């Protein structure tokens, strides 16, 4: 805004022959602050700007006073089509066309100049519409990526809960069968039932309710930390993968183990696909009493992606999965060479 005000003042100094110079500069500089509200109130600022500029000739006896700097009014047209609602766009378009018709009818603008002026205004509106559609399309793609990741998490957690419920049912049946002959066995069964039920309830709290959209369920067991070694045996060209797991991972919740595997799998896939001139990918998992930390690092070039690589949403899905479990996932280039993906998940595997 300050630049536009300075430009209007400079134009007033450099164009001494401009009619009604002071008024023209004052109107141009006075309308510049409207740009501050172009996103929050696109219709209001457009109506105010075009109404003032349309009525100014009435005070000058029909003589034009517009400066070159007032071309920033095209930004108001762009903003209308970029951020306004459908009804506001229609109303704003009528205001823009109404000003052009009014000036032509009053003789302020030659009839031959009206079509070119409207063409420029239409170009600004078309640009706003194109960027609006592009932003909406991008938002829908991101939401679809998040939904797909939520569906994967829901399947993994469903398998985990089903495991606990099956154990509860088996132990309960065993307790009923031995209740008369061995009362102590029934007490043992009830203890296991209580433990498994508590774990199942904890898993259910982390479950995401999503629709499968008619796709058949995948009946294969969910992978866990014990399956990370398979990432090092990936066949085909590309950098070697080294996997190391330290700490106590035996008591981890199945959903947490599955999340660690999925995050590592996606990070390794991204590194093999995008890391240029990489020779090695290190996968490190460290577990302590409170959290599990995953670090996947490659030694590839941190320059731009290969031209043939299509942009994906793997990193978005990884961050979404970690967030659903109450953790974090970040990815960034290293100071020298390589790229590092780091995920930290709470050991209980669920958001507090």
CA-to-CA dists, residue 13 to 32, 74, 106, angstroms? 18, 24, 30
CA distance linking residue 113 with residue 19, whole number of Å: 20
Q: Is the pLDDT of residue 312 over 60?
A: no
How much is the pTM?
A: 0.50
Q: Mark out the alpha helices in 32-182 (DSSP H runs).
A: 42-59, 73-83, 86-106, 114-178
Section 194-207 average pLDDT:
67
Residue 37: predicted pLDDT:
92
Q: Is the pLDDT of residue 62 over 70?
A: no
Q: Is the pLDDT of residue 316 over 70?
A: yes
Residue 211: predicted pLDDT:
40
Residue 114: predicted pLDDT:
80
CA distance linking residue 195 with residue 201, whole number of Å: 10
Residue 320: predicted pLDDT:
84
Give 24's DSSP letter: H
- What are the pLDDT digits (tens) for 10-24? 887 788 777 778 888
Q: Which residue has the higher pLDDT, 205 or 126?
A: 126
CA distance linking residue 199 with residue 349, whole number of Å: 11
Section 267-292 average pLDDT:
91
User: Which tokens go with 194?
Assistant: 């209580």
The order of strands in the sheet holding 280-287 is: 240-246, 280-287, 291-298, 339-346, 328-333
Q: Is the pLDDT of residue 246 over 80?
A: yes
CA distance linking residue 264 with residue 273, whole number of Å: 14
Residue 170: predicted pLDDT:
76
Q: Is the pLDDT of residue 210 over 60?
A: no
- What are the pLDDT digits (tens) for 41-60? 999 999 999 888 888 877 77
Residue 313: predicted pLDDT:
62
Residues whose CB falls within 8 Å of the CB of residue 271, separated by 6 or more in sequence, listed in order: 239, 278, 281, 296, 298, 300, 339
Q: Is the pLDDT of residue 31 over 80?
A: yes
Residue 310: predicted pLDDT:
44
Q: Which residue has the higher pLDDT, 64 or 299?
A: 299
Q: Which residue has the higher pLDDT, 198 or 127?
A: 127
Residue 221: predicted pLDDT:
66
Section 186-213 average pLDDT:
64
Residue 220: predicted pLDDT:
61
User: Which tokens go with 169?
Assistant: 């049912």
CA distance linking residue 326 with residue 126, whole number of Å: 43
Q: Is the pLDDT of residue 179 over 90?
A: no
Number of Cβ within a 10 Å radius of residue 200: 18
291: closest CA among 332, 229, 249?
A: 249
Section 226-247 average pLDDT:
84
Section 325-344 average pLDDT:
91
Torsional sign, CA 8, 14, 19, 20: positive
pLDDT confidence of 223, banded at 50, 70, 90?
Answer: confident
330, containing H or E segment: strand 328-333
| CATH architecture of the domain formed by 225-346 | 2-Layer Sandwich (3.30)
Give 212's DSSP letter: -
- What are the pLDDT digits (tens) for 93-139? 999 988 888 878 877 777 777 888 889 999 999 999 999 999 888 88
Angle at 146 between CA 140 and CA 152, to 5 degrees: 140
CA distance linking residue 139 with residue 141, whole number of Å: 5
Cβ(75)–Cβ(29) below 8 Å: no
- Name the phi and psi angles at 137, rounded to 5: -65, -40
Q: Is the pLDDT of residue 181 over 80?
A: no
């Amino acid at each position: 805004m300050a630049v536009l005000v300075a430009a209007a003042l400079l134009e007033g100094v450099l164009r001494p022959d401009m009619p009604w110079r002071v008024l023209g500069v004052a109107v141009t500089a006075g309308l510049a602050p409207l740009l501050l509200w172009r996103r929050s109130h696109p219709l209001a600022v457009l109506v105010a700007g075009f109404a003032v500029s349309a009525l100014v000739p009435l005070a000058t006896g029909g003589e034009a006073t517009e400066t070159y700097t007032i071309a920033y009014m095209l930004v108001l047209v762009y903003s209308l089509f970029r951020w306004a609602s459908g009804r506001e766009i229609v109303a704003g378009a009528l205001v823009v066309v109404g000003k052009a018709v009014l000036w032509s009818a009053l003789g302020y603008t030659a009839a031959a100049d009206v079509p070119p002026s409207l063409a420029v205004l239409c170009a600004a509106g078309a640009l706003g519409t194109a960027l609006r559609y592009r932003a909406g399309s991008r938002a829908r793609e991101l939401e679809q990526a998040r939904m797909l990741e939520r569906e994967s998490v829901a399947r993994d957690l469903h398998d985990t809960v089903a495991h606990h419920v099956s154990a509860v049912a088996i132990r309960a049946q065993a307790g009923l069968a031995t209740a008369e002959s061995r009362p102590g066995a029934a007490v043992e069964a009830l203890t296991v039932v209580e433990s498994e039920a508590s774990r199942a309830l904890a898993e259910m709290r982390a479950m995401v309710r999503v629709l499968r959209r008619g796709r058949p369920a995948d009946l294969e067991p969910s992978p866990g930390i014990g399956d990370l070694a398979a990432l090092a045996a990936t066949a085909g060209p590309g950098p070697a993968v080294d996997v190391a797991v330290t700490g106590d991972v035996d008591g981890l919740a199945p959903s947490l183990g599955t999340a660690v595997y999925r995050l590592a799998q996606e990070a390794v896939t991204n590194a093999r696909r995008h890391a240029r001139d990489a020779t090695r990918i290190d996968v490190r998992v460290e577990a302590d009493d409170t959290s599990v930390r995953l670090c996947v690092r490659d030694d590839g070039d941190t320059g731009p992606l290969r031209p043939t690589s299509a942009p994906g949403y793997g990193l978005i899905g990884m961050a979404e999965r970690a967030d659903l479990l109450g953790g974090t996932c970040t990815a960034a280039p290293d100071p020298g060479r390589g790229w590092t993906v780091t995920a930290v998940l709470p050991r209980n595997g669920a958001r507090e």
